[in-house]
Amino acid sequence: MSARIGQSVGNYRLVRQLGAGGMGAVFLAEHTLIGKKVAVKILHRELAQDREVVTRFFNEARAVNQIGNEHIVDITDFGQSPAGDHFFVMEYLGGRALSDVLVKEQRLAPERALKIAAQMADALAAAHAAGIIHRDLKPENVVLIDKHGDRDFVKILDFGLAKLTEGKGGPLTRAGVVLGTPQYMSPEQCESRTVDPRSDIYALGVLLYQMVGGAVPFDGQTMAEILVKHVNHPPPPLRGVPPAVEKIVLRCLEKSPADRFPSMIELRETMREAIPPTLPARAERSPSEPARRGGVEAPRSGRRRTSRRLLSRVPLILGIIGAVAAVASVIVTLVRSPPPEEPLAARPLAVTPLPVDAASPVVQPLVVSVGVGTDPPGAQIVDEKSGSVLGVTPARLDLERGRELPILLRLPGYEPRRQTVKASGDTDLMIELEKSKRRRSSRNR
């Protein structure tokens, strides 16, 4: 049974659900005595049996409190309720998710997108300085609130997949398990390689691309298709975007981390420099409106002096007009008498040979990627032959092409499910789990 509206969690009463994700649900809650509104995140009960998932859940609260940046949501408390729910309490923002803003507006003006992205970079620079990599940056995890007179004041949420770098507790993720949201994952995340802060730079580049371009650079019908594009395909060109902004985006989206911005701080400063300065509004005056000085009509004597100055300059103006006309006549003559074209056969034909690289990716890779998901999520994936745990759903398995892997899916409260994964190509499997028959039969007695 999951948390219910009206239930007490710590000193707070759950009022309504705000949203849900892969690890938990978020509720609006009120303090039972003083009525203060907060947001409470509660871990899904089906995941509470996995020690690593619980550790990662509380790691989010610990990670956020280590950062202490105004653009990151503030977490004030965490623990376990008498009902057994793992939770933490954070400030209630009540703003607009960037995902909702993009659905409504499609594209943002480049200067607005840069201001939003620069605030995100400021928050992530602080996170990186604390030894924390977010790894799941996406529009749903960015909230815009009204603060300090700014309606686009950024707050970043959901450090549930945050990685603590070495010396800060060590990584919590099993090797070979892909974590993140496919459209915003860096190539090294897609290939389950080691990530560093430059992985967040790539994700921020994807977000900036989406804000100014109206869509993510890489999408597809399956998770495997999206991951392959991140690793191998160049991003589609941006249309109607200032060159300075496009240059920033493309550098963020370099496949190799070494070719991206070296740090989030440098990216932040580059974006701030690219934001055009705000110019003061200039009052426009119609030609028929009399010239005024300090709100008073200009004296007529001033008008007469202006007229005399204009009359004295008439010969000069006529001379300029005559020179322009002469130049124009020459241009017309040149346009009407083009040089004879070179015969087509005499022109050298420029041919760019296609590169042939035996080491480049081919149509039939030796290793394929198989996504394994369950309904509900959170099931352990066990290799039936070796007995080793391969991951927790949803997860991706990199297997040798043609291999058949027998797996066992285990989730407390549900029947174990056996499945043979056939690695014939990149694909995704979604497997429905049945509730435990033993539990149902015991209730009927």
Classify residue 238 as left (phi > 0), alpha (psi -120 to 50) or beta. Answer: beta
Q: Domains in the chain: how many in total? A: 3
Do 120 and 62 reside in the same domain of the chain?
no
- Identify the active-site residue in 85, 122, 136, 152: 136
Classify residue 187 as left (phi > 0), alpha (psi -120 to 50) or beta. Answer: alpha
Domain boundaries, position 121: 96-274
Which residues have a Cβ under 8 Å from the Cβ of 149 and sit 6 or more positions away? none
Do 135 and 29 reside in the same domain of the chain?
no
Do 395 and 249 reside in the same domain of the chain?
no
Do 82 and 124 reside in the same domain of the chain?
no
Domain membership of residue 335 (yes or no) is no
Q: What is the pLDDT of residue 348?
A: 37
> Distances from the Cα of 372 to the Cαs of 177, 191, 218, in angstroms?
11, 16, 21
Q: Helix, strand or coil for residue 166? A: coil
Are 207 and 181 within 8 A, CB to CB?
A: no
Q: Parallel, antiparallel, or unpaired: how do β-strands 389-392 and 380-383 relate?
A: antiparallel
Domain membership of residue 307 (yes or no) is no
What is the per-residue DSSP string for 316-344?
Answer: HHHHHHHHHHHHHHHHHHHHHSPPPPPPG
Token pair of 134 as six digits: 């977010």
Do 16 and 138 reside in the same domain of the chain?
no
Q: What is the pLDDT of residue 314?
A: 46
SS percent in the chain: helix, strand, coil, step 5: 35, 25, 40
Instruction: Tell me which residue has tokens 């790539």.
Output: 202
List the CATH number of the domain containing 427: 2.60.40.1120
Do 127 and 65 reside in the same domain of the chain?
no
Q: Is the peptide bond before 394 cis (omega within 30 degrees of 0)?
A: yes
Domain membership of residue 291 (yes or no) is no
Q: What is the pLDDT of residue 71?
A: 95
Domain membership of residue 353 (yes or no) is no
Domain membership of residue 325 (yes or no) is no
Helices (H), ranges, 178-259? 187-190, 198-213, 223-232, 243-252
Q: What is the pLDDT of residue 235?
A: 97
Classify residue 131 as left (phi > 0), alpha (psi -120 to 50) or beta. Answer: left
Q: How far apart are CA 170 and CA 212, in angstroms?
A: 36
Which residues have a Cβ under 8 Å from the Cβ of 73 and sit 6 or more positions away? 64, 90, 91, 93, 143, 155, 156, 157
Do 24 and 141 reside in the same domain of the chain?
no
Nearest residue to 152 (alpha-carbon basis) of 213, 200, 105, 216: 105
Do 112 and 258 reside in the same domain of the chain?
yes
Classify residue 106 as left (phi > 0), alpha (psi -120 to 50) or beta. Answer: left
> Distances from the Cα of 385 to the Cαs of 390, 399, 419, in angstroms?
12, 15, 13
Q: Which of 228, 259, 274 is the last residue of a domain?
A: 274
Instruction: Tell me which residue has tokens 């694909």.
Output: 427
Do 57 and 105 reside in the same domain of the chain?
no
Are 195 and 189 within 8 A, CB to CB?
A: yes
List the CATH number of the domain containing 145: 1.10.510.10
- Binned average pLDDT, 10 residues per bin, the chain of 445 residues: 77 89 86 92 86 80 83 89 87 92 96 97 94 90 93 88 52 48 93 91 98 96 92 95 96 98 97 78 40 40 46 50 46 42 37 36 54 84 87 82 89 91 79 76 50
Domain membership of residue 52 (yes or no) is yes
Q: Which of 37, 67, 91 is the last residue of a domain?
A: 91
Q: How far apart are CA 124 and CA 203, in angstroms?
A: 11
Do 130 and 219 reside in the same domain of the chain?
yes
Do 258 and 375 reside in the same domain of the chain?
no
One-letter amino acid of 159: F
Active site residue 357: no
List the CATH number of the domain containing 85: 3.30.200.20
Domain membership of residue 360 (yes or no) is no
Are 207 and 142 within 8 A, CB to CB?
A: yes
Nearest residue to 368 (alpha-carbon basis) of 435, 422, 310: 422
Do 76 and 29 reside in the same domain of the chain?
yes
Token pair of 411 as six digits: 């989730």
Nearest residue to 37 (alpha-carbon basis) of 21, 26, 45: 26
Nearest residue to 76 (alpha-carbon basis) of 134, 155, 12: 12
Q: Which of 91, 109, 144 is the last residue of a domain?
A: 91
Domain membership of residue 293 (yes or no) is no
